[in-house]
Amino acid sequence: MNRMSLALRLIRVVLAAEGVVMSWRTLRSTRSLEIGREHGDQSVKDAVALTPQSRLFGVPNGLAAGGYLGFMLALAASGLPERNRSARALSLILAWLSLGVSVYLVAQLLFVLKRNCPLCLRAHSLNLALTLAVTARAATEKP
């Protein structure tokens, strides 16, 4: 494995690991907000995490992201995309699909909800960086 591949693998591992941690924190925060809402706490009524946009097909965004990022972390940590063309293609497809979801969610946040959510924007930025790292890795493949 050359230095570029190793560096891109390390970047993918770090980004995916950070994403898993962020997803876990998001899930904990969302649950706390839900409990607050159940107990009548009016201060949580405008929380982004309690909007319909905070769920993808009924699944909390933090859980969906955690599953995706956990899978990407396992792929990057195992080094399978460096050895297997199918794993490399799968990670590339998943990364771009996930980025499409991120673009949709950012549009919802900014243009539908008209809210600022620094954690959301950080998570989507991390997803963009991971997609670029996965794409860069795929581009370094020798024919």
Distance CA 18, CA 136 (A): 19
Report domain extents, the chain: 3-47+58-139
Ramachandran region of residue 73, left (φ > 0), alpha (ψ -120 to 50) or beta? alpha
Global pTM reads 0.90
Structure confidence at residue 136 as a pLDDT band (50, 70, 90): very high
Q: Are 15 and 126 in contact (CB under 8 A)?
A: yes
Is the pLDDT score of 30 beyond 80? yes
CATH code of the domain made up of 3-47+58-139: 1.20.1440.130
Span 22-32, average pLDDT = 92
Give tens-digit pLDDT for 44-98: 878 888 888 999 889 999 999 999 999 999 999 999 998 999 999 999 999 999 9
Q: Which amino acid is at 58?
A: G
- Distance of alpha carbon 73 from alpha carbon 104, whole angstroms: 23
Higher pLDDT, residue 141 or 15: 15
The residues, ordered by sequence, that sit 6+ positions from 18 with a Cβ below 8 Å of its Cβ are 126
pLDDT reading at 143 higher than 80: no
The pLDDT value given to residue 1: 63
Contact predicate 33/47, CB 8 Å: yes
Q: pLDDT tens, 88-119? A: 999 999 999 999 999 999 999 999 999 989 99
Higher pLDDT residue, 100 or 43? 100
